[in-house]
Amino acid sequence: MKRFLQQNFIILVLMNSGNVFNYLFQLTAGRAMTPDEFGSFNALNSMLSIIAAPMAIVPLIMARFTAGFALEGMGRVRGLFNQAAKFALAAAVVVGVLGLLAGPLMRDFLHFTEMGPIYVSVGMLVVLLLMPVPWGMLQGMQRFTGYGVSGASNACLRFVASLGLLTALGWGVSGAVLCGIVGAAAQTALAMFFLKDLLRVPATPLPAGFHREVGRYALGMIVSSVVGMCLNNLDLILVRHFCPGSEAGLYATAAILGRIAFFGPSVLVSVLFTEAASAKARGQEDNKSLWTSTGMTLLLGGGYALVCFLASKLVVTLLFGAQYEAAGPLLAVIAVAMAMLATANVFFVYSQARGEFGFMWLQGAGVAIFAALALLYHESAMQVARMLLISMAFILASTLVWFGLKSRKPRPAL
């Protein structure tokens, strides 16, 4: 448990230092763009997150199987790296071509007037396909210092790039997306640096049936990841689609600040995932790590949500300026919703690490509830925020009930 807490501390400091730069980037972007442009960028960014959701499983797949192979020797870890890198390169080419073909559809849905931001976004998707392979291996090998430093470098370089591309040059939405490419490329390069010793190890063949096992696991992870990205991004897209541009900009501001309640404590689950995957490989349970992570998430996410609920206008004004003060009431609602999602996410990640995916039905139901309510009630951004809160409350409550019932089931005797 001491080692678990030490690893959580390392990740909390390094990854949340990256989150600080993420929010500095958003502050820079918010002040360099009009509310309409800022809402456009965050709507595009949310759409990219949903499109790229299947890519988000790659680090977790790499971490899960790396953790198991590392117990047998580094040769199989190198073999895993070789095969994953080849697949990522091939997928990057396919996604790049498909993204260019689908670009006009994205432009029309988000009411953009030019294709520039869409083309840059396609480049972003290509880079995002290459980055997760080395980064996920660092997590699986429990090299959390390298994992945290490379992850934080993404946000840091993204912010530095924004000072030139947004503040100095005023490149707008296209420049903001290009900043993301700079950060993701830096993360990929640093992750490879921390794996340089692995590149000197001869590869050994992967075990029989490996690809079939990966396929089964990846299927559940893809569905879960897509649904999870929808939970975190669908509201921004719907507000941009249904509400006036200025109102969408205010919602984007509140959503960015409110999601701190989710992303702040969510860095902790990377350690939980590796611990749970390793315990599963050894045929053990690890509920102590689960409940420790849950407690820390409630403390960090819930504490931040409470601050936002009590002083939302002050938080918005201090960080984004007086022009965004009207986003305060939205922040109070969204922060509470995100704290609920962060708590449920601890159970999602623990179950993913153990190859258990029953929670996906609850995730999917939550997305369906939110989408249905938002389609019915979208006269204002606040209505959408309240529908988000209702759906997150459902997800958290149903997840706790599901996990409690599952834990009570008798396990087969060994």
Place of tokens 């669908």: 234
413 in any annotated domain: no
User: How far apart are the two ends of the chain, measured CA to CA in Å?
Assistant: 26
200 in any annotated domain: yes
120 in any annotated domain: yes
Q: How far is CA 272 from the centre of its chain?
A: 16
Fill in the amino acid letter for 228: G
The rounded distance, in Å, linking the Cα atoms of 363 and 369 is 10
- The larger pLDDT score, comparing residue 90 to residue 207, is at 90
Q: Which residue in 275, 262, 274, 237 sits closest to 378, CA to CA? A: 237
- The larger pLDDT score, comparing residue 274 to residue 163, is at 163
Note down the domain range covering 171.
2-407
Residue 60 reports pLDDT greater than 90? no
How sure is the predictor about 413, in pLDDT bands with cuts at 50, 70 and 90?
A: very low
Q: What is the DSSP letter of 324?
A: G
Fill in the amino acid letter for 324: Y
412 in any annotated domain: no
The rounded distance, in Å, linking the Cα atoms of 332 and 246 is 19
The rounded distance, in Å, linking the Cα atoms of 4 and 346 is 15
Mean per-residue pLDDT, 361-372:
89
Whole-number pLDDT of residue 414:
40
Whole-number pLDDT of residue 333:
93
The rounded distance, in Å, linking the Cα atoms of 130 and 125 is 9
Domain count, the chain: 1
How sure is the predictor about 205, in pLDDT bands with cuts at 50, 70 and 90?
A: confident
Q: What is the DSSP letter of 217?
A: H
26 in any annotated domain: yes
204 in any annotated domain: yes
- The larger pLDDT score, comparing residue 408 to residue 150, is at 150
- Indicate the pTM of the whole model: 0.60
66 in any annotated domain: yes
The CB density around residue 313, as the number of other CB atoms within 10 Å, is: 16
Burial grade of 380 (CB within 10 A; 0-12, 13-18, 19 or more): middle
Mean pLDDT of the chain: 81
414 in any annotated domain: no
